[in-house]
Amino acid sequence: MSKDIKKNKEIKKTKQEDEKKVKQLINKNNKNAIIIAIVVVAVLIVIAFAFIVFHVLYPKINSYLQNISKEKIELKYTKTATTKNDGIYITDVSQVVENVMPSIVAITSKTLISSGQFGPSFFKEEQYAEGAGSGIIISKSDDELMILTNNHVVENVSELAVQFINEKSFDAKIVGTSKRKDIAVIAVSLNDIDSDTLKEIKIATMGDSNKLKVGNGIIAIGNALGYGQSVTTGVVSALNREVTIDNYTNKMIQLDAAINGGNSGGALLNSNGEVIGVNSAKYSSNALNSSASIEGMGFAIPISDISDLITDLMNGKNDEEVTLGIEGYLIQEENNYNLPSGFYISKIISGSNADKSELEIGNIITKINGNKITDLSDIQSVLNKSNKGDTLNLTISYISGREYKEKDITINLS
Closest CA relative to residue 295, chosen from 267, 258, 323, 247:
258
Distances (CA, A) of 250 to 56, 193, 254: 60, 35, 12
Q: Catalytic: 152? A: yes
Catalytic residue among 134, 182, 237, 305: 182
Which pLDDT belongs to residue 129? 81
Are residues 222 and 187 located together in one domain of the fold?
no
Q: Backbone phi, then psi, for 223, in 5-degree steps? A: -85, 65
List of residues 6+ apart from 63 with CB closer than 8 A: none
Domain that holds residue 55: 14-80
For the purposes of burial, counting CB atoms within 10 Å of the CB of 404, is it exposed (0-12), middle (13-18) or buried (19 or more)? Answer: middle
Which pLDDT belongs to residue 81? 32
Contact status, residue 147 vs residue 188, Cβ threshold 8 Å: yes
CATH of the domain at 125: 2.40.10.10
Catalytic residue among 103, 134, 152, 209: 152
> Where a domain ends, among 175, 200, 225?
200
Closest CA relative to residue 107, chosen from 228, 283, 259, 282:
228
Which pLDDT belongs to residue 289? 45
Are residues 236 and 193 located together in one domain of the fold?
no
Opening angle at CA 57, ends 52 and 63, nearest 5: 155
Are residues 182 and 223 located together in one domain of the fold?
no
Residue 71: enclosing H or E segment and its boundaries? helix 58-77
Are residues 195 and 107 located together in one domain of the fold?
yes
d(CA 171, CA 150): 17
Per-residue pLDDT reduced to its tens digit, 65-75: 555 444 443 33
Catalytic residue among 103, 134, 178, 264: 264
Give how many domains the chain has, as a whole number. 4
List of residues 6+ apart from 156 with CB closer than 8 A: 111
How far out from the chain centre does Cα 107 lie? Answer: 20
Which pLDDT belongs to residue 345? 95
Global pTM reads 0.65
What are the residue ranges in the chain where pLDDT is below 50? 68-90, 287-292
d(CA 254, CA 257): 9
Are residues 112 and 193 located together in one domain of the fold?
yes
Contact status, residue 111 vs residue 157, Cβ threshold 8 Å: yes
Contact status, residue 267 vs residue 204, Cβ threshold 8 Å: yes
Q: Catalytic: 55? A: no
Per-residue pLDDT reduced to its tens digit, 146-201: 999 999 999 989 899 999 999 999 999 999 999 889 999 999 999 999 999 999 99
**Radius of gyration of the chain from Cα atoms?**
42
Which pLDDT belongs to residue 58? 59
Q: Backbone phi, then psi, for 393, in 5-degree steps? A: -105, 120
Are residues 252 and 188 located together in one domain of the fold?
no
Other Cβ atoms within 10 Å of 53 Cβ, number: 11
Are residues 216 and 195 located together in one domain of the fold?
no
Are residues 73 and 105 located together in one domain of the fold?
no
Which pLDDT belongs to residue 367? 95
Handedness of CA 75, 76, 80, 83 (dihedral sign): positive
CATH of the domain at 333: 2.30.42.10
Distances (CA, A) of 86 to 67, 91, 286, 363, 397: 21, 16, 33, 65, 65
